[in-house]
Amino acid sequence: HFSENGRVTWKAPSNIALVKYWGKLAHQIPANPSISFTLDACATTTSVSYQKKETKTDSFSFKLLFEGKPKEDFKPKIETFFNRVVEYVPFLKDYHFTIETSNSFPHSSGIASSASGMAALSLCLMDIEKQLNPAMDEEFFKKKASFLARLGSGSACRSIEGDLIQWGEHPQIPNSSNLFGIKYPFEVNPVFKNYHDTILLVHKGQKQVSSTVGHDLMHGHPYAQNRFHQAYDNLDKLKPIFAEGDLEEFIKVVESEALTLHAMMMTSMPYFILMKPDTLEIINKIWAYRSQTKVPICFTLDAGANVHVLYPESVKEKAIQFIQDELVAHCEKGHYLCDRIGTGAKKI
Ligand code: PMV
């Protein structure tokens, strides 16, 4: 029995890609496979209240509250998302929805909330759908939530579960799919279990290049095919690295992926430089510190100027000391966020 009204709440984390998704085909199909650490502290909490419409209409009816206040500029994104997913969750047109959403990280921190936001919203929709079909099993629930999230924002499909999630068909990865993320199916050394991600907020402004524009730049890009092949190869390389806990080789793959992502933006038409002088200062300091101390600390980047500093639990004290002494000075207003690898979304 499907209730006429109710309310569901989910909290979904952000994620940080190790092998980057950059470039897509129609229907949010990735041009190359990717893999990410699911984060923990950086998350979006979304509640969806639903109430049956008196008469069925052919349009969506929803209100949107962001951190308690109506937010008009998010509405087109939700509208687009609903249009893409309605064929898979047809009840969307039968209800009025109130969507209340908030982030654990400060807004305008330059941290994208599309992955955590679309994941949380998709989980809420699946929770409503589960009432139509109470026999639905856990595995299907998560798979379809990831499938729906992908249609909101590609990388969001990697924010349903933890702690290492792979997305995109890869011939050597069983059950890998272009349609949803899967838990990495191979052995992972415990050194990766409590991995840390300290996010240095170098530039808190709006992104200069939206990821939609960014993915589009890969169409007709002179290096696109080589880049896509490289992502496949990097996933191959990561298999023994994850099994053996080879941090030296891990760092090579991860830093190269970050710089390649930015190289793609520098060599597209139009071209962009998304790093700031402080981004480069931080990278150089990480390299100098690592070569002096042999502490296995490295960086990765999103499509922006902020730096994600990655390190294992075993060097936590040293890494935090180094970050505070040398890197925080390069952050806007000294702001940074301490996060770590997490276990995935939760029902609240
Ligand atoms: O999910 P989108 O369309 O916002 O794209 C995300 C792209 C990167 O964050 C740069 C890379 C990734 O794999 O997360």
Cα–Cα separations (whole angstroms), residue 335 to 35, 51, 114, 243, 338: 27, 41, 21, 35, 10
Beta-carbon neighbour count of residue 41 at 10 Å? 15
- Is residue 306 within 6 Å of ligand 1 at its C-beta? no
Ligand 1 atom nearest 212 alpha carbon: 3
Name the token pair of 55: 């008469």
Confidence band of 66 (pLDDT split at 50, 70, 90) = very high
Name the token pair of 122: 């998709």
Query: Which amino acid is present at 249?
Result: E
Q: What percent of the chain has pLDDT over 90?
A: 90
214-272 confidence digits (pLDDT tens)? 999 999 999 999 999 999 999 999 999 999 999 999 999 999 999 999 999 999 999 99
Ligand 1 centroid from CA 255, angstroms:
16
Predicted local confidence at residue 208, as pLDDT: 79
Tell me whether the omega of the peptide bond preceding residue 163 falls within 30 degrees of 0, making it cis: yes
Q: What are the chain's domains?
A: 5-188 (3.30.230.10), 196-340 (3.30.70.890)
- Is residue 302 within 6 Å of ligand 1 at its C-beta? yes
Ligand 1 centroid from CA 115, angstroms:
8
Ligand 1 centroid from CA 340, angstroms:
19
- Is residue 153 within 6 Å of ligand 1 at its C-beta? yes
pTM of the predicted protein model: 0.96
Ligand 1 centroid from CA 72, angstroms:
24
- Is residue 113 within 6 Å of ligand 1 at its C-beta? no
Predicted local confidence at residue 113, as pLDDT: 86
Picking from 101, 341, 131, the residue whose alpha carbon sits closest to that of residue 242 is 341
Cα–Cα separations (whole angstroms), residue 297 to 37, 251, 300: 16, 8, 11
- Is residue 13 within 8 A of residue 38, CB to CB? The reply is yes
SS3 readout for 293-304: HCCCCEEEECCC
Q: Measured between alpha carbons, how far is 29 from 33 in angstroms, rounded to an integer? A: 10
Pocket test for ligand 1, best of 20, 113, 218 (most atoms within 8 A of CB): 20
Ligand 1 centroid from CA 214, angstroms:
9
Predicted local confidence at residue 108, as pLDDT: 65
- Is residue 308 within 6 Å of ligand 1 at its C-beta? no
Tokens 């960086």 belong to 299
Instruction: Provide ipTM, 2 decimals.
Output: 0.99
287-312 confidence digits (pLDDT tens)? 999 999 999 999 999 999 999 999 99
Rg (CA), the chain: 20
- Is residue 67 within 8 A of residue 47, CB to CB? The reply is no
- Mean pLDDT for the stretch of residues 17-36: 98
Q: Output the CA angle 259-219-215, nearest 5 degrees.
A: 55
Ligand 1 atom nearest 302 alpha carbon: 10
Ligand 1 centroid from CA 228, angstroms:
14
Predicted local confidence at residue 2, as pLDDT: 60
Pocket test for ligand 1, best of 150, 211, 262 (most atoms within 8 A of CB): 211
Within the chain, strands assigned E span 5-19, 24-25, 29-30, 34-52, 61-66, 69-70, 95-103, 164-167, 181-183, 196-200, 298-301, 307-311, 336-340, 346-347
